[in-house]
Amino acid sequence: MYRRVYGDEAFVFEEGQSDFFDLMLSQLFGEVWSRPALEVSDRRLLVMGVLAAQRAFDTLGIQFSRALDSGELGVDQIREIAIHLIPYVGYPSSSDLYRVSETAIVGFEKSQRDAEATGE
């Protein structure tokens, strides 16, 4: 589930190298993210709201990127999420929220163009 949420390129400690990471994998991803009542995309939206509220914008940017890369959300939806969250996180934080959403979009669009150019 960790790979599904964060992608194949996400860093992973080998089991036993980090007690914290082992616990996170087994509890957060093995138990919480794996529960059947909500889809991964629903859980990701909830996490996006929490990360924005906590002003954890770098981690939020990772979630935006993964949602785009996995096809869970499109560019317009990411922009709409940012617009929707800005009044809740406050306008002083809006530039950081806008920055991470647009950075994720630019990166996604570049990877799409690169894939088209190489025929992938």
Question: Half-sphere exposure of 5 toward its Cβ, with a 13 Å CA cutoff?
Answer: 21
Domains belonging to the chain, first-starting first, are: 1-37 (no CATH), 39-120 (1.20.1290)
CA gap 78, 81 in Å, rounded: 5
User: What's the pTM value of the predicted model, to 2 decimals?
Assistant: 0.88
**pLDDT tens digits for the chain (120 residues)?**
989 898 888 888 989 999 999 999 999 999 999 999 999 999 999 999 999 999 999 999 999 999 999 999 999 999 999 999 999 999 888 999 999 999 999 999 999 999 999 887
